Amino acid sequence: MIYSLRHLTTYRYARAVRFARCNLRLRPRDGEGQRVLESALHVTPTPTSRLARRDFFGLDTLTLTLDEPHREFTVEAVSRVAVERPAPPPPESGLPWEAVCAAALALPSLGPDGPAHFQFRSQRVPLEPAVTDYARASFPPGRSAYGGAVELMQRIRDDFRFDAKATTVSTPLAEAFALRAGVCQDFTHVMIAGLRGLGLPAAYVSGYLRTRPPAGRPRLRGADASHAWVALWCGPETGAGEGGWIGLDPTNACVVRDDHIVVARGRDYADVAPIDGMVASAGEQKLTVEVDVIPEDEAA
pLDDT surpasses 90 at 298? no
Amino acid letter, residue 51:
L
pLDDT of residue 9: 97
- Range 93-120 average pLDDT: 91
pLDDT at 134 over 60: yes
Model confidence at 125, in pLDDT bands (50, 70, 90)? Answer: very high
| DSSP codes of every residue in the chain | -EEEEEEEEEEEEEEEE-EEEEEE--SPPSBTTEEEEEEEEEEESPPSEEEEEE-TTS-EEEEEEE-S-EEEEEEEEEEEEEE--PPPPPTT-SSBHHHHHHHHHH----STT-GGGGSS--SS----HHHHHHHHTT--TT-BHHHHHHHHHHHHHHHSEE-TTT--TT--HHHHHHHTEE-HHHHHHHHHHHHHHTT--EEEEEEEE---PPTT-PPPTTBB-EEEEEEEE--TTS-SSGGGEEEEETTTTEE--TTEEEEEEESSHHHH-SEEEEEE--S-EEEEEEEEEEETTS--
Q: Is the pLDDT of residue 8 over 60?
A: yes
The Cα-based distances of 27 to 112, 179, 203, 280, 285 in angstroms read: 18, 33, 19, 26, 25
- Residue 167 above 80 pLDDT? yes
pLDDT given for residue 213 in this prediction: 72
Using an 8 Å Cβ cutoff, are 60 and 25 in contact?
A: yes
pLDDT at 150 over 90: yes
Does pLDDT of 299 surpass 60? no
pLDDT over 80 at 222, yes or no: no
The fraction of the chain above a pLDDT of 70, given in percent, is 94
With CA atoms as reference, report the closest residue to 299 among 217, 208, 207, 209. 217
Exposure string of 165-182, with b = 16+ CB inside 10 Å and e = fewer, is ebbeeebebeebbeeebb
Examine the pLDDT at 240 and tell me if it is beyond 60: no
The pLDDT assigned to 223 comes to 61
> What is the mean predicted confidence (pLDDT) over 94-115?
90
Nearest by Cα to 94 from 245, 199, 276, 274: 245
- Mean residue pLDDT across the chain: 92
Confidence band, pLDDT 50/70/90 cuts, at residue 211 = confident
Under the banding of pLDDT at 50, 70 and 90, the label for residue 58 is: confident
Rounded CA gap, 29 and 157, in Å?
A: 27
Q: In the prediction, which pLDDT does 139 show?
A: 98
Residue 76 has what pLDDT?
98
In terms of pTM, does the model score above 0.85? yes
The pLDDT score that the predictor gives to residue 108 is 82
Mean pLDDT of 160-181: 95
* Mean pLDDT, range 205-209, rounded to an integer: 96
pLDDT of residue 238: 64
Check residue 212 and give its pLDDT: 77
Among 6-10, 117-121, 209-213, 266-270, the range scoring the smallest mean pLDDT is: 209-213
Instruction: Give the per-residue SS3 of 115-152.
Output: HHHHCCCCCCCCCCHHHHHHHHCCCCCCCEHHHHHHHH
- When pLDDT is averaged across residues 181-195 and rounded to a whole number, the result is 97
State yes or no: pLDDT of 283 exceeds 80: yes
